[in-house]
Each structure stands twice: as C-alpha cells, then as structure tokens.
Amino acid sequence: MLNNKDIIIFGAGPSGAAVARKKAEEGKQVLVLENKDVVAGNLFDYKNDKGIIVHKFGPHIFQTSDEDIISFVKRFANWKEFRHKVNVVIGDKEVPLPINFKSIDILFPDKAEMLKQKLKETFNSDVTYIMDLLNVEDEDLKELGKFVYDNVFENYTVKMWGISSEDIDQSVLKRVPVRLSYDDGYFSDKFQAVPTTGYTEFIKEMLNHENIKLKLNVPVDLLEIKDGKTFIDGEETDKEVIWTGAVDYLFRYSKGELPYRSLKFELETLELDSFQDRAVVNYPADPSMTRITEYKKLTQQEDEETLLGVTTIGKEYPGSYDKASKDFSIPYYPVIKKDGLNPADVYFKEAKNITNLKLLGRLAEYKYKQMAQAISDALDI
Ligand code: UDP
C-alpha cells in the first residue's frame, strides 16, 4: 500500500484534502486514508429526497478575506456568495445577531438613541465585545452589557460548552461581537459563500489529482505510535505521516481522554415555503437546543422552483462527547478554557519527538478553527 508513496495522510476532511492537494501539486505521491465511506469529514453534506442540500454536521459558511485562500478554493467549486445573517430569539422578540444598532432599536425602543450615542462615544469604533461591554463605567451601558450577556451569551455558552462564558477561552466569544453600527452581517470577511454543489463535491474535487490515491473504509487503528515510531498496519515507516484525527486517540488515550463537545441534529422536512427569516436562528433561552438552521436559505436554494412549498430544518443540540453514547459519539469541538492551558499539550509533547509525524486540523491540533483557517494551515504545513 505504501509503495511509491511519499506522504501518508490520515483523514479526508478539509485539512487532509488541502494538504494532499498541495503536496500532490508539488509532485509528491500522496496516499489519503479515510476511515469513513465518504470524504469531507464534518463538512459532509448531501441532497435529501426533496433536493435540499443538508449539512449533516451543522451549518457551514466559508468565510475569509485571504486572497490566496479564496483563489485556492475557487479552483474546486463554484461558489454562491452571500452575507450570512443570523437572528437571536430574546423573550418574545427576534433580533439580528451580532447585537447591533438595529437589535437595540427593537429591544429598547425608548432608550435606543441614548444607548447608541453612548456606545459611539465610549468605544469610538464599529465593534466591541461582550466582556468589554460588561466592564464599562457608564451605568446604562453596563446594564446593556448585562442584558446581552444574560440573554445572548450565558445560557447559549453553558449549553454549547458545558461551562460558563466566564470560563471559556475568550476568543470563542469574540467570534460574535457587538456591532456599533447597523451592520447586521454575522461575519465581516470579504468572501462569504457556499459551494453550489455542496462541500462533499468540493472536497472530492480537491482530492481529484493524478498524484493522490484515496482509500475509504480504512480501519481507524491502522496508524499506531510505539516507542516514538510510526507503524502503519503493523509495519514501521519513516515516511511523512500527517494525522488529522483526534490526537488523544492517536496515542490510544495513554495520557487520558480529552474533552470534546459533540452535537446532535434533529432534521424535519416541512411543507412550507419558509420556516424562519434567516438561514440560522439562535435560541439561547431554550433548555437544550442552541439553534435552528433552515438549509435552503443557507445553501442559497430558495429560488429553485422545485423547492417551493418544502423546506428542511435542523435543530441543533450540543452535548458532551462520549464515544459510547448514541447521540454524542462524534467529537466536534475541542474545549479550550480561559486558563490558557491546552489539555492536549501532554500529547503534543510526545508528538514533537516523532520527526516524520505532523498533526493537522481541529481534532489533531485541538484547536477551535474555522474552515478557511483549517485550509490555510494545511497549505502552510
Ligand atoms: N454564542 C452565544 N450565543 C449566541 C451565539 C454564539 O453565546 O447566540 C457564543 C457561544 O459560546 C458560541 C460562540 O459564541 O460557541 C461562537 O459562536 P459561533 O456562532 O461562531 O459558533 P459555531 O458556529 O462555531 O458553533
């Protein structure tokens, strides 16, 4: 299997596929080994029986301002650009998220002008973050900060991460700013888009190169580390190995299991033109659900005539990853706390001594990265 191969990559998600493509274009012979019977990892999507593209593992929007990454991804798919917008339900109101001047107008009609004026004067910027808003001196803004913290961040974060907003690494919360303008976009990147034929096809196209050999249904335990050396199917190898799976599994949990968050999705197909105003609506106050995605709004299929009168929604429920559980057996997110300590460091220390091994991607690097970052890191390896 390894004959004539220069690099062996474990995992055909975005990280594995991007690094495979890069090495293949450099003239290397690349072998990609994937445990599942499909590619794309947690980007996997499919067309359901109504013709709606469903993102099986949660809503994905590609966003970046990096020109090199934009050019790279455009080679493997046609993209429909759109500005992702999200609403959040607070009490009996549904307002744009990130909280912005429009949200403030709806939530506090009597005080909105005063609050917006004070926000502009205090921050002198287009954007701030919840923890900064909580720490201002002005009593009205402090109250606003407390309101946003209680109604948008705290419950959602406890559900999502199993810990309070105060204990999670603050870069996680900074993904959702507070905007001091009427800009109601969820992201601010120049390029925000979805591939017209879906992410699975995009990843397949990336892997479609004469120097890449892809094997599916490969046993997950094929790669083993023993005494600081790499073994594939029981044979020691000094070829370059790139691992994109969970780092604790690679070392067979020798230093303990790492915490991950997992997700469960409940899909429903409804006989409606439209279920909600936005592709994604968040429900911080719901006891267990975080958000609802209406897929045809996300995949920009709303205009397809065959989809009139039908729509598919996905309700998202987070939980603690447990490989033996029915609903939460897939690791999605590493849990990085505010203390700055990365629980995976014990494994990184061991991996560093194995010169032919590289860890790449969200699960292997134990890092909360989004798609463009995963691809950028893979191209930089
Ligand atoms: N968040 C929140 N309330 C919301 C939306 C987000 O508290 O309504 C926090 C939460 O901690 C979440 C983080 O902000 O995990 C990042 O949100 P994002 O929508 O980027 O999450 P992802 O799409 O990566 O799951």
**Residue of 157, 159, 176 best suited for mutating to test ligand 1, as the one with most atoms within 8 Å of CB:** 176
How remote is the CA of residue 38 from the centroid of ligand 1, in Å? 28
How remote is the CA of residue 208 from the centroid of ligand 1, in Å? 34
DSSP category for residue 144: H
Asked whether the beta carbons of 289 and 317 are under 8 A apart, the reply is yes
Separation of alpha carbons 346 and 228, rounded Å = 14
What pLDDT digit, counting tens, does each position of 35-73 carry? 999 999 999 999 999 999 999 999 999 999 999 999 999
Residue 330's closest CA among 377, 363, 287, 289? 363
Residues 6+ apart with CB under 8 A from 188: none
Could you tell me the pTM of the whole model?
Answer: 0.96
Which conformational region is residue 269 in: left (phi greater than 0), alpha (psi within -120 to 50 degrees), or beta?
A: beta
Instruction: Give pLDDT, residue 341.
Output: 87
Q: Is the CB–ligand 1 distance for residue 149 below 6 Å?
A: no
> What Å distances lie between residue 21 and 9, 103, 210, 219, 377, CA to CA?
11, 43, 10, 23, 13
Instruction: Give pLDDT, residue 1.
Output: 81
Instruction: Give pLDDT, residue 100.
Output: 98
Instruction: Give pLDDT, residue 227.
Output: 94
Domain ranges across the chain: 7-39+207-258+336-379, 86-179
CATH superfamily assigned to domain 7-39+207-258+336-379: NAD(P)-binding Rossmann-like Domain (3.40.50.720)
Kindly report the number of other CB atoms within 10 A of residue 340's CB atom.
Answer: 7
How remote is the CA of residue 14 from the centroid of ligand 1, in Å? 21
Q: Which atom of ligand 1 is nearest to the CA of 186?
A: 19
Residue spans of the chain under pLDDT 70: none
Instruction: Give pLDDT, residue 2.
Output: 87
Q: Which atom of ligand 1 is nearest to the CA of 176?
A: 14
Which residue's CA is minimally distant from atom 3 of ligand 1? Answer: 153
How remote is the CA of residue 307 from the centroid of ligand 1, in Å? 30
Both tokens of residue 46? Answer: 């499919």
Q: Is the CB–ligand 1 distance for residue 176 below 6 Å?
A: yes
How remote is the CA of residue 194 from the centroid of ligand 1, in Å? 20
Instruction: Give pLDDT, residue 303.
Output: 85
Instruction: Give pLDDT, residue 290.
Output: 98
Separation of alpha carbons 242 and 252, rounded Å = 17
> Which residue type sits at 76?
F
Separation of alpha carbons 102 and 180, rounded Å = 10
Q: Is the CB–ligand 1 distance for residue 284 below 6 Å?
A: yes
What pLDDT digit, counting tens, does each position of 286-335 carry? 999 999 999 999 999 988 889 999 999 999 999 999 999 999 999 999 99
How remote is the CA of residue 227 from the centroid of ligand 1, in Å? 40
Q: Is the CB–ligand 1 distance for residue 319 below 6 Å?
A: no
**Burial level of 157, CB count in 10 A (0-12/13-18/19+)?**
buried
Instruction: Give pLDDT, residue 3.
Output: 87
Q: Is the CB–ligand 1 distance for residue 130 below 6 Å?
A: no
- Give per-residue burial for 116-141: e unless 16+ CB within 10 Å, then b: bebbeebbeeebbebebbbebeeeeb
Which residue's CA is minimally distant from atom 10 of ligand 1? Answer: 157
